[in-house]
Each structure stands twice: as structure tokens, then as C-alpha cells.
């Protein structure tokens, strides 16, 4: 009765978990959630700003496929027109932003509060200088484009306001729209309404862009959201065909090994239970499940297929399945426990994604083992035991060979001049390298800022941050002149602090005084009398204007630019000052440190790479810790030093040789190689444990069959994974396939017959 009860409980849990998994668990695909839980508030804050901010919503579009620049320009205009009518896009720009008429009036009216004019701008000398310059412009062969504004703005103050908003490195203009430097591709910059990591919205945006292209035009596009959405598609497609291929491979191998469709079907039950349990437990603990956890976790759960195989191979006609299970259970249990202990080390890692992965794998493995223990035997009662043929060949030779191999591999790893570990965060990205190159090329072509290096300002109010920003203007200009940095954007370039606007307003002359200075300046110049009355009128009117605040300009073009760089955060305000082409980072950091300015220099890429580096250093410790815990567990479980050696020596030699071979063939070991090595460790221990069981010849042949089927199936499935173009899947696949093959071979070398 008890097995029957266990079956019902198992079925209820499975169905309940499946219902929960399918209906209640949300899978998040935000890459940032997989990033480290970073201790610094600023870093976390910054990641958040960059993730939610307009930089993450940027899409760069390049139109090509024709040698006719006019045709590409026309296609660019047509696309911009269509996308501007599409509510999914905030902006679609293909040329320098022309201020809308209504906005022009606002900015023009406030020009004397916004423009930085020279101190003598309203004296006769200053005015004279400007009038002479205007006269030269009128005499030039090309008419000044703002000629109509001259009577109201003889100092060209409005031009200064506009010049302050110009983005540093704008793309080249051709036929009225942006082109790349070679003139081969027309460029557009788009901003989506949805956040960069709302992948479904980004996918929809991508489709809308492609649909908005004229026929015959080649469209290339990139941007953080587009890359994230596209890499999700690549992962999805790859995982689909890889898992289909792997499943097929698995079915063929299992059928060849057991010649029983029923056993092949039953072998899937523990894996099924493992996936359901892993999804349910992870979602309950973390609140949601990361897409990457799901993809890699299911891969790692592939080990669970081994558990029923051990049971199947050990079945024989003279024994009830439940009895067979009781015989192998201690060994199986020790194998599961050692794998789980290895993954538990990962749960302590600062990568929240890895902690999820660890919990996912451990709960899955435990569920699979419990299924084998309590459910499978009662389903096997009517099964004919498989014919387990296995040719044992002499073992024992490996005991002296393996330490030599291991020493050679470790020696190579210690002596190699090439860096052992891959510490760039980008190496963890699932984005194929070709897309990253396209992204870099388009980014360079559009002059879109690389937001990885910046100064961070903090203040109690927007006004305070704007004042800090203004104080940085002169020193940053000096740093640019010294070629320490190539360029910068300050929030105050879009809107001066209210204090500055008040000071400018207070310095404006009265009507009478201004007319007198103007008359003196005009003497001898051919400008008509009273031509500049609109100027006098506007200066007088400016004295009564209130200063503009960020919220007053929120829906203007410069206001939106400002919003990228000036953001509220809780009670505080943050100012971002993106720097471009930083030439001398040391000089910059030194200046920030001694300037007394309330600014902090942040290099995001370095910060991120540093986090990976710290993690990898830590991962080495976790790995050693994991091995130590496994050793301790096995020592307690086996109570036999010689057997412990036979279990551990093959797998440790396999790990060392796998790492050395991978590195020798050109790979730098990344985080995911290490995860895969951990999986190999668990598998190899399993093989060693079963091979080192002391038993009669017939039982020994059954064990050999079990381990051989396990090793062949695992190596084949992961070899298929190694075919993937996604760096991470390729890393895991090649590492596990190689590691399992070596572990199995080495374990056979030391087996006792």
C-alpha cells in the first residue's frame, strides 16, 4: 500500500506543481537581473538608470542596399514619417532636430535668461562688435539663415542657446538626412516608448521598423533592447532545435540500450518531476524565474536522466524492482547528495542568477532522486529486465597514470602565459559576436554616446545639481583642451540653474540705457534707424520673465534631453555627465579626486568587469569549497580511503585535463565553463561511486552497463549543445561532453573487477 500512496502523492505534487508553473510563474528575461547583487547603492542606482533610461530605449537604424543616396534619403524620410505616427515610438529622428514652431517661440522669448553672453554684451563696445559681425554676415555670399531674427536679436543670442544644445559628434548630413561617414547608409535614431528590457515591446518595435521600410531597402538595426529581444529569439530557436535533437539522440541511445519503449518512457519521469519541482521551488523562493536560469537549469538537470538508468540496468529477473532499488540506493543517494553539495556552493555567489541556478538544480535533482526512489519501482513490476551486456576489461592500471596526467594538466594551466580566465562581462552575453560588432559600428557612425564612462552628481534638488553642473563647465572644457577627455554633456547645457537665470535677468539694462548704448554702437554703420526697436522691447520684456525650471520644459526637445541627465531618485536628485573618448583616465580620476567638486567618476565597464573578476576569484574558492564538501561527504558516506581515492582520482584528473584542453584549444575559461565543470564533477563522482561498488561479476556487468549508458547519453547530448552558436551554450556543451568522456574513461581505468 505504501508505494501506491507514494505514487498518488507524487502525482498530486506533480500536477499541482505543473499547474503552478504554467499559470503562476512569470519568466523574466531582463539580463540585468542576472547581474551581480552589487553592494554599492550608486552602482545599483546607475544600472537602474541606464536600464530604464533613454539610453536603453535607443534603436539605431541603418538603411542601405542602394548606391543612390537620394533614394536612401527618401527611404529615411518615409520611414521617419511612418514611425512618427506610430505610438510605440517617442522619437524618430533622421536629421538634426528642428525645434517645433511653438517651442521656438518659448526658447526665443527666454534667450536672455538662457544664453551665456559676454559681460559687455549690452555696452556700446559689445553691441558694436556684434553689429559689425552681423554686417559681415549680410555681405557674405550666402545669406544668414536666421536673417529674419536680426532686428530682435542683433547679438545672435538665440544662436548661442541653440549651439549649447548641439550634440557632440553628429553624423554626416547628406541630402538632408543623416548618413554614415562613407555615405553608404542612411541613419535614423529611434526611441521606443517601452523600456529597453520590455522584450515583447522591443520585438514589436523591431517588426514595426522593418514594416516601415521601403521595398528594396536593406535595414540593419541595433540597440540594447533590440539586441536583448533578438538574443532571446536566438536562444529560444537554438534551445528548441537543440533540445529536439538531444531528445531524439537520447531516445535512440536508450532504445538501443534497453530495447523497451516502456523503459524509455519511464526514464523521462524523474526528469519531468525534476523540471516541475525546480521551476516551482525557484519561483516560490525568488518570486520569479529568470529565462536564463530556465534554459541552463534544464540543461544541468539532464543528469537526472542518469538516475533511472542506474535502476534499469541493475534490474534482473530473480529480484523485485523495489529490492533492486534498495541495493543501489545508498550509492545513488551519495551521488545525488554530492552533486547537490557542489551546487550549494554556488547559492552563496553574489550573482543572483547563479544563486537561482543553484537552487533550481538542487531542487530538481532531489525531486528526480525521490521519484526514482518512491515512484519508479512500483511502475516497473511488469517489466522484463533488460539484457545488459558489458565487456569488462582490465582495470587498475590507471592508478599511477592518472596522477601523472593530472600533474601535466595542472602544470600547463599554471605555466601558460595566456590569461586563464575570461573576465569581461560581455563574454557572458548571449548576443552573437557579429551583432555586437554591428552595434559598435552603428554606434560609432551615429556618434551615439557610449554611456560607460561618466561623472555622477548628487544633490538635494534639481537646482542644486544644475548648479554643480555649471561649476563643472570650465574645468571640463580645460580637460578637453588638454585632451584628457574628448567631449562631455552637462545637464546645465540644456537648462541653466535658476540662480544663473536670475543673475542674467538682473543684469539686463533698462530701455532708455539700452537705446543710448545701441545708438552709440550703430554710429557709422548702415543699419536703419529704429531697426532694433524689437530688440529693446524683448530685453525689457525679459526682465519680467520667470526663470525656466526642468518641469516647465519637460515636453520640449531639450527638456527630454535634460531628463536623461537629470533625474529624481527618492528624495535626492542625480546628474549624469556622460564623457566621450576618455584618453587619460588616470589624469581624469586624479582631477576629480582633488577638484573639490561633488562629482564622482564612474567607469561602468570597468565596474562590471571588476565584478566578474571578483566573482571568478570567489568562484575558485566556491569550487574548492564544493570539492572539499564533496570529499567530506564521501569520506563519511564511504568510510573507506582507498575507495574514496578510486572515486575522486578519475574525476579530478578529468577536470584538470578538460580545463587544460579547452584552454589549449583557445578558449578562455568563463563563468559558464566553471559551472559546467561543477556538473562534470557531480557526474564523474556518480560514475566512480558505481564503478567502485564491490559486487559479484554479474552485478558488476550490470553496473558497467548502467554507467556506460549514462556516459554515452550525457556526452552525446552535451556534444549537441556544443554545436550552438550562443557562446554560453557552446561553453557548457563542449566542457561537459569532454569532461564526461574523460571521467568515464578514467573511471574505467581504476575500476575494480
Partner 1 sequence: MTSGVRISWLALLLALLPLPAVAQWDAAQLLAALARAVPERIAYSETRRLAYLDVPLTSTGELEFRPPDWLRRSVQGSAESYVIAGDVVRVETPGGSREIALDVHPALRAFAESLRATLAGDLPRLQRHFHVELHGGIERWRLLLRPHYAGVAVLIESIELSGAGTQLLRIESRESGGDITITELKAGR
Binding site for partner 1 (CB under 8 A): 96, 138-143, 145, 147-148, 150-151, 172-177, 526-528, 531
Identify the CA nearest to 83 among candidates 223, 199, 195, 189.
189
HEC letters along 101-129: HHHHHHHHHCHHHHCCCCCCCCCHHHHHH
* Shortest Cβ 51–partner 1 spacing (Å): 35
* Shortest Cβ 176–partner 1 spacing (Å): 5
User: Considering beta carbons, is residue 329 or 527 the nearer one to partner 1?
Assistant: 527
Pairing of β 566-569 and β 487-488: unpaired
CA count, 13 A, side-chain hemisphere, 35: 22
CA distance 658 to 661: 5
CA distance 382 to 384: 7
* Shortest Cβ 296–partner 1 spacing (Å): 50
Which grid coordinates are listed for 529? Answer: 534707424
CA angle, residues 434, 437, 439, in degrees to nearest 5: 110
* Shortest Cβ 139–partner 1 spacing (Å): 5
User: Considering beta carbons, is residue 394 or 524 the nearer one to partner 1?
Assistant: 524
* Shortest Cβ 171–partner 1 spacing (Å): 11
Neighbours of 13 (CB within 10 A): 17
* Shortest Cβ 160–partner 1 spacing (Å): 17
Residue 291 zone, left/alpha/beta (φ > 0; ψ -120 to 50; rest): alpha
Give the orientation angle of helix 671-691 with respect to helix 306-314, to 10 degrees. 10
CA distance 390 to 699: 11
CA distance 655 to 647: 13
CA distance 242 to 26: 24
Burial of residue 526 (CB within 10 Å: 0-12, 13-18, 19+) is exposed
CA distance 695 to 702: 10
* Shortest Cβ 168–partner 1 spacing (Å): 16
The most distant pair of C-alpha atoms in the chain lies apart, rounded to whole Å, by 122
User: Considering beta carbons, is residue 151 or 395 the nearer one to partner 1?
Assistant: 151
Burial of residue 434 (CB within 10 Å: 0-12, 13-18, 19+) is exposed
* End-to-end Cα distance, the chain: 39
The three-class DSSP label of residue 78 is helix
Contact 135, 523 (CB under 8 A): no
* Shortest Cβ 134–partner 1 spacing (Å): 9
Pairing of β 58-64 and β 186-192: antiparallel
Which grid coordinates are listed for 586? Answer: 588616470
* Shortest Cβ 109–partner 1 spacing (Å): 20
* φ/ψ of residue 63, rounded to 5: -105, 125
Q: How far is CA 717 from the centre of its chain?
A: 27
Contact 443, 436 (CB under 8 A): no
Helices (H), 597-752: 604-638, 641-664, 671-691, 697-721, 727-750
User: Considering beta carbons, is residue 156 or 406 the nearer one to partner 1?
Assistant: 156
Contact 238, 299 (CB under 8 A): no
The number of residues making up the chain comes to 753
CA distance 660 to 106: 67
Amino acid at each position: 500500500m505504501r508505494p501506491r500512496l507514494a505514487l498518488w502523492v507524487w502525482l498530486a505534487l506533480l500536477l499541482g506543481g505543473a499547474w503552478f508553473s504554467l499559470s503562476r510563474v512569470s519568466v523574466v528575461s531582463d539580463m540585468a537581473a542576472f547581474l551581480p547583487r552589487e553592494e554599492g547603492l550608486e552602482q545599483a542606482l546607475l544600472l537602474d538608470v541606464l536600464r530604464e533610461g533613454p539610453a536603453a530605449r535607443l534603436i539605431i537604424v541603418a538603411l542601405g542596399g542602394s548606391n543612390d543616396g537620394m533614394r536612401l534619403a527618401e527611404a529615411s524620410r518615409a520611414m521617419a514619417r511612418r514611425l512618427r505616427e506610430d505610438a510605440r515610438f517617442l522619437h524618430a529622428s533622421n536629421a538634426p532636430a528642428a525645434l517645433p514652431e511653438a517651442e521656438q517661440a518659448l526658447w526665443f522669448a527666454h534667450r536672455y535668461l538662457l544664453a551665456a553672453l559676454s559681460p559687455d554684451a549690452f555696452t556700446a563696445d559689445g553691441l558694436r562688435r556684434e553689429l559689425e559681425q552681423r554686417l559681415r554676415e549680410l555681405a557674405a555670399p550666402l545669406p544668414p539663415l536666421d536673417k529674419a531674427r536680426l532686428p530682435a536679436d542683433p547679438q545672435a543670442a538665440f544662436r548661442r542657446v541653440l549651439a549649447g544644445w548641439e550634440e557632440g559628434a553628429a553624423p554626416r548630413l547628406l541630402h538632408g538626412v543623416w548618413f554614415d561617414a562613407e555615405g553608404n547608409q542612411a541613419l535614423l535614431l529611434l526611441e521606443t516608448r517601452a523600456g529597453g528590457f520590455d522584450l515583447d515591446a522591443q520585438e514589436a518595435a523591431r517588426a514595426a521598423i522593418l514594416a516601415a521600410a521601403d521595398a528594396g531597402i536593406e535595414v540593419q538595426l541595433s540597440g540594447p533592447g533590440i539586441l536583448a529581444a533578438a538574443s532571446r529569439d536566438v536562444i529560444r530557436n537554438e534551445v528548441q532545435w537543440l533540445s529536439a535533437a538531444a531528445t531524439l539522440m537520447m531516445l535512440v541511445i536508450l532504445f538501443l540500450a534497453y530495447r523497451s519503449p516502456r523503459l524509455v518512457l519511464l526514464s523521462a519521469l524523474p526528469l519531468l518531476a525534476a523540471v516541475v519541482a525546480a521551476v516551482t521551488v525557484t519561483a516560490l523562493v525568488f518570486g520569479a524565474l529568470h529565462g536564463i536560469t530556465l534554459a541552463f537549469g534544464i540543461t544541468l538537470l539532464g543528469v537526472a536522466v542518469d538516475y533511472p538508468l542506474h535502476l534499469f540496468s541493475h534490474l534482473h529477473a530473480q529480484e523485485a524492482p523495489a529490492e533492486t532499488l534498495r541495493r543501489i540506493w545508498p550509492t545513488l543517494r551519495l551521488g545525488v547528495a554530492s552533486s547537490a553539495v557542489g551546487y550549494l556552493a554556488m547559492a552563496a555567489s553574489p550573482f543572483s542568477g547563479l544563486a537561482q541556478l543553484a537552487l533550481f538544480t538542487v531542487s530538481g535533482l532531489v525531486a528526480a532522486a525521490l521519484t526514482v526512489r518512491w515512484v519508479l519501482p512500483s511502475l516497473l513490476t511488469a517489466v522484463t529486465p533488460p539484457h545488459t551486456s558489458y565487456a569488462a576489461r582490465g582495470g587498475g592500471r590507471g592508478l599511477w597514470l592518472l596522477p601523472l596526467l593530472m600533474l601535466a594538466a595542472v602544470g600547463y594551466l599554471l605555466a601558460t602565459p595566456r590569461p586563464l580566465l575570461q573576465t569581461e562581462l560581455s563574454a557572458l552575453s548571449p548576443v552573437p559576436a557579429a551583432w555586437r560588432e554591428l552595434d559598435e559600428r552603428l554606434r560609432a557612425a551615429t556618434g551615439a554616446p557610449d554611456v560607460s564612462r561618466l561623472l555622477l552628481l548628487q544633490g538635494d534638488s534639481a537646482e542644486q545639481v544644475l548648479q554643480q553642473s555649471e561649476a563643472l563647465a570650465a574645468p571640463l572644457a580645460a580637460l578637453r583642451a588638454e585632451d584628457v577627455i574628448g567631449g562631455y554633456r552637462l545637464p546645465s547645457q540644456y537648462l541653466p540653474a535658476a540662480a544663473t537665470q536670475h543673475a542674467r535677468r538682473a543684469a539686463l539694462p533698462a530701455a532708455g540705457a539700452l537705446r543710448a548704448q545701441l545708438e552709440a554702437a550703430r554710429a557709422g554703420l548702415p543699419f536703419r534707424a529704429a531697426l532694433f526697436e524689437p530688440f529693446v522691447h524683448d530685453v525689457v520684456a525679459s526682465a519680467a520673465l520667470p526663470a525656466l525650471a526642468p518641469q516647465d520644459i519637460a515636453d520640449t526637445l531639450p527638456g527630454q534631453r535634460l531628463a536623461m541627465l537629470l533625474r529624481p531618485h527618492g528624495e535626492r536628485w542625480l546628474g549624469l555627465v556622460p564623457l566621450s573618448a576618455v584618453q587619460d583616465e588616470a589624469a581624469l580620476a586624479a582631477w576629480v579626486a582633488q577638484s573639490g567638486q561633488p562629482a564622482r567618476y564612474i567607469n561602468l565597464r570597468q565596474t562590471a568587469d571588476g565584478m566578474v573578476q571578483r566573482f571568478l576569484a570567489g568562484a575558485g574558492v566556491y569550487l574548492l569549497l564544493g570539492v572539499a564538501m564533496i570529499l567530506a561527504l564521501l569520506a563519511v558516506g564511504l568510510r573507506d580511503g582507498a575507495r574514496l581515492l578510486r572515486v575522486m582520482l578519475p574525476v579530478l584528473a578529468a577536470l584538470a585535463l578538460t580545463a587544460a584542453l579547452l584552454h589549449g584549444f583557445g578558449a578562455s575559461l568563463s563563468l559558464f565553463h566553471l559551472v559546467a565543470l561543477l556538473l562534470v564533477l557531480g557526474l564523474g563522482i556518480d560514475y566512480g561511486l558505481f564503478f567502485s561498488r564491490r559486487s559479484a561479476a554479474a552485478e558488476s556487468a550490470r553496473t558497467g552497463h548502467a554507467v556506460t549508458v549514462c556516459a554515452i547519453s550525457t556526452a552525446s547530448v552535451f556534444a549537441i549543445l556544443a554545436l550552438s552558436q550562443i557562446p554560453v551554450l557552446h561553453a557548457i556543451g563542449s566542457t561537459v561532453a569532454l569532461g564526461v568522456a574523460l571521467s568515464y574513461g578514467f573511471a574505467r581505468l581504476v575500476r575494480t573487477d
